[in-house]
């Protein structure tokens, strides 16, 4: 990231830096032997901070302006005519300092631009300057240290009233790195650009670009350390799938069809445009920003085609296809850096507004963009990190899933605390402790229907009555490596109370658990993976105990989530209410109405997942991803009650998928993903769906990501 400083501010900063180096060197090194008195004449111009001096140098076609932070020593070598001086380095004033003879400082000057010369001469002729033309110059110094006045010397002009004189400064050796010439630049961030070594193109995200936070913006209006960052993303998805689709005499358009299930082929075309706008204050190379203002509008156009009526809208008159568009706000927040608590920039910051949040490493518990207040920071050289936050969830647009800020906030609050420790067990492994409380009071509000006319809250499930609940999650998450093994682990226990169970219709005590583990190891260009997941199911829907695990809002990156049929598709529970057996972008069979609108439900069958997978980096820009997962229910009690039938098998089946990721430029700016997933049903799924799962269910996906 880059910044833009005014010449006067750079003058002060560089002066302090140069004098600091000079002071340090004078303590760390033995001063060089003094030159013979007859060889060098020394003149000392003595001033004190914060005076501003304007003076001309003999033989140099330039006028120099600089803020003097200490005395200035000028040395003239009679043998060569070279001038040496120990002085501040001023950026943008038209001159630079180079290493001279015997390690002293040699000042070289480049001619100023005409407009710069006029500006500096105008400053020198200011009436306030004329009133103070008696800056003292002392020269030369003899062996005894006496400094009579009267030898040749540069003219000195002081812009501010005189102050007591300083002691003479000593010439200090400097690094040979300063021996080359340099060009004047406005600020240090444009140095490489001024030398002509890098292009400057607003359409080039790889080189210094004011749109990518590399150079300061609005320096005159806001100051020299404000930056703007623009990110634009085009996300195009083309998807074809086959799902169990219910029909009825009132909705089917297929003449002669009288079964429970209709034709299940569906397709979607989704185009999402994301524009991220951020205004940031501060040098974020080593520390957090002082302020950050971020606004992320998202534009979505989508089309869905099906083969059955009422698949896209509750009104059969709308047909089998749907076209829709929406503009949502996914981020709108201000981030304030409160303080640094250590020299290594451990910090405390606060963020207020619509912001992204992920409660754990893999998105198992709560991943959303809600409205909230978040206090976060680090300690002990970033080895400890913490989050403490309150969020209130936003309603979503029905067909795009984006935030709908035109509606009032949901009566669904999340209070969260995370504590992270890096290198917790062994170097390279990070542990996280999580306490999250979900307080839902949507049972006190009126029924909620989505834009397609379907009832979302309360769910048409079991008793179908509104309910409130309080659920507290206690969790541990770990991510990292131990030796050559990559390990990601999650474990949660949820406790609380539901004032009305979805099947029993009475108060229930919540007590459920969840665990997930992924092990992987790299062998040259191949990574092998093994995954396991266990979510408890409810054993008895009428015993006053809700033992089925459900998250707040999951979006797991686990077991091939981007390609898996089971995780990516929403499989409806036909004949058991208006809920889905599994949610789109969710692994849990939680029996919700939908991922975006539904309430958590702790009366569900739970899940066991055991999987293997392999990633193959065939080429630097080409990766092949494969996964095979075995799925089964933990407990069938809730499904048996909803279907009013005896169920014998917990086996769901095998979920197999393969995907290809191609990055033609070896960066994330252009990414092409293609995948195919299939669910091979086992006996347990056939018991629930009958002939609908006689054929293999599938999904095919093409995704193109373009990022600027």
Neighbours of 451 (CB within 10 A): 12
* Three-class HEC string of 670-690: EEEEEEEEEEEECHHHHHHHH
The residues pairing with 357 across neighbouring beta strands, listed in sequence order, are 368
The average pLDDT across 157-166 equals 30
SS3 219: helix
Which band of pLDDT confidence, cut at 50, 70 and 90, is reported for residue 383?
A: very high
The residues pairing with 434 across neighbouring beta strands, listed in sequence order, are 418, 475
Residues with Cβ within 8 Å of 451's Cβ and at least 6 positions away in sequence, in order, are 397, 398, 399
More confident residue, 457 or 78: 457
Which band of pLDDT confidence, cut at 50, 70 and 90, is reported for residue 285?
A: confident
Tens-digit pLDDT profile for residues 229-254:
999 999 999 999 998 887 755 556 66
Tens-digit pLDDT profile for residues 411-429:
999 999 999 999 998 899 9
The single-letter DSSP state of residue 468 is -
The average pLDDT across 267-277 equals 97
Return the structure tokens found at 110: 């480049």
Going along the chain from its start, the domains and CATH numbers come out as 7-200 (no CATH), 341-707 (2.40.160.100)
For 203, what's the count of Cα atoms within 13 Å in the CB-facing half-sphere?
Answer: 0
Tens-digit pLDDT profile for residues 618-629:
999 999 999 999
Q: Furthest-apart CA pair in the chain: how many Å?
A: 119
pLDDT of residue 541: 95
Going by C-alpha positions, the residue among 418, 412, 339, 338 that lies closest to residue 372 is 412
Which range among 11-15, 439-443, 543-547, 703-707 shows the weakest confidence by mean pLDDT?
A: 11-15
Q: What is the DSSP string of 317-339?
A: GG-SEEEEEEEEEEEEEEEEEEE
Give the separation between CA 187 and CA 14, rounded to whole angstroms: 11
| Reported pTM | 0.74
pLDDT of residue 43: 31
Cβ atoms of 283 and 325 closer than 8 Å: no
Give the separation between CA 94 and CA 113, rounded to whole angstroms: 8
The residues pairing with 612 across neighbouring beta strands, listed in sequence order, are 530, 628
β-sheet with 52-56: strand ranges across: 63-67, 52-56, 156-158
Give the separation between CA 342 and CA 326, rounded to whole angstroms: 45
Going by C-alpha positions, the residue among 584, 603, 604 that lies closest to residue 594 is 584
Cβ atoms of 647 and 684 closer than 8 Å: yes
Give the separation between CA 377 and CA 469, rounded to whole angstroms: 31
Give the separation between CA 276 and CA 299, rounded to whole angstroms: 12
């Amino acid at each position: 990231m880059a910044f833009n400083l005014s010449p006067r501010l750079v003058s002060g900063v560089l002066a302090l830096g140069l004098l600091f180096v000079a002071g340090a060197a004078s303590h760390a090194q033995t001063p060089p032997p003094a030159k013979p008195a007859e060889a060098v004449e020394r003149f000392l111009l003595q001033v004190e901070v914060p005076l501003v001096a304007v003076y001309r140098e003999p033989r140099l076609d330039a006028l120099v302006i600089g803020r003097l932070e200490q005395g200035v020593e000028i040395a003239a070598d009679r043998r060569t005519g070279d001038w040496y001086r120990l002085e501040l380095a001023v950026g943008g004033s038209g001159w630079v300092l180079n290493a001279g003879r015997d390690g002293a400082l040699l000042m070289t000057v480049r001619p100023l631009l005409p407009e710069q010369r006029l500006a500096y001469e105008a400053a020198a002729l200011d009436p306030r300057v004329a009133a103070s033309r008696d800056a003292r110059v002392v020269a030369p110094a003899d062996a005894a240290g006496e400094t009579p006045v009267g030898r040749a010397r540069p003219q000195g002009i002081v812009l501010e009233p005189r102050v007591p004189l300083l002691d003479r400064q000593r010439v200090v050796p400097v690094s040979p790195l300063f021996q080359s010439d340099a060009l004047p630049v406005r600020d240090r961030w444009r140095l490489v650009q001024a030398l002509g070594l890098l292009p400057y193109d607003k359409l080039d995200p790889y080189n210094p670009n004011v749109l990518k936070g590399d150079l300061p913006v609005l320096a005159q209006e806001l100051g020299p350390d404000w930056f703007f960052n623009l990110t634009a993303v085009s996300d195009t998805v083309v998807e074809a799938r086959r799902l169990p689709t219910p029909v009825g005499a009132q909705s089917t358009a297929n003449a002669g069809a009288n079964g429970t299930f209709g034709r299940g082929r569906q397709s979607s075309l989704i185009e999402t445009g994301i524009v991220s706008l951020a205004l940031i204050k501060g040098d974020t190379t080593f520390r957090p920003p002082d302020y950050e203002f971020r606004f992320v509008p998202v534009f979505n156009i989508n089309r869905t085609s099906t083969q059955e009526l009422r698949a896209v809208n509750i009104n059969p008159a709308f047909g089998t296809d749907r076209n829709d568009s929406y503009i949502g706000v996914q981020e709108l927040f201000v981030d304030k850096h409160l303080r640094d608590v250590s020299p290594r920039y451990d910090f405390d910051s606060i963020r207020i507004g619509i912001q992204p949040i992920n409660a754990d490493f893999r998105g198992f518990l709560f991943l959303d963009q809600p409205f909230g207040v978040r206090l976060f920071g680090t300690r002990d050289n970033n080895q400890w990190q913490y989050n403490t936050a309150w969020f209130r969830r936003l309603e979503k647009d029905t067909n795009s899933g984006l935030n709908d800020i035109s509606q009032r906030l949901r009566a669904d609050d999340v209070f969260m605390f995370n504590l992270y420790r890096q290198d917790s067990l062994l170097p390279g492994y990070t542990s996280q402790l999580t306490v999250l409380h979900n307080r839902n009071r949507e049972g006190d509000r009126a029924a909620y229907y989505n834009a397609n006319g379907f009832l979302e809250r309360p769910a048409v499930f079991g008793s179908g009555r509104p309910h409130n609940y309080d659920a507290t999650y206690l969790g541990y998450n770990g991510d990292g490596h131990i030796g050559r093994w990559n390990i990601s682990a999650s474990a949660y226990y949820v406790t609380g109370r539901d004032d009305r169970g979805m099947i029993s219709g009475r108060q229930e005590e919540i007590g459920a658990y969840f665990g997930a583990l992924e092990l992987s190891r790299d062998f040259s260009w191949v990574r092998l993976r093994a995954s396991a997941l266990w979510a408890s199911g409810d054993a008895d829907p009428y015993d006053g105990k809700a033992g089925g695990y459900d998250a707040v809002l999951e979006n797991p990156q686990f077991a091939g989530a981007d390609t898996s049929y089971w995780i990516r598709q929403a499989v409806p529970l036909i004949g058991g209410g208006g809920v889905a057996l599994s949610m789109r972008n969710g692994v849990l069979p939680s029996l919700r109405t939908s991922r975006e609108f539904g309430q958590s439900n702790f009366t569900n069958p739970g899940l066991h997942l055991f999987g293997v997978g392999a990633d193959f980096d065939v080429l630097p820009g080409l990766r092949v991803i494969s996964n095979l997962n075995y799925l089964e229910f933990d407990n069938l009690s809730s499904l048996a009650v909803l279907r009013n039938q005896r169920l014998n098998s917990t086996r769901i089946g095998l979920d197999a998928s393969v995907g290809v990721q191609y990055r033609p430029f070896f960066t994330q700016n252009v990414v092409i993903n293609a995948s195919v997933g299939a669910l091979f049903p086992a006996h347990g799924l056939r018991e629930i769906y009958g002939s609908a799962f006689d054929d293999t269910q599938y999904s095919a996906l093409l995704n193109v990501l373009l990022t600027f």
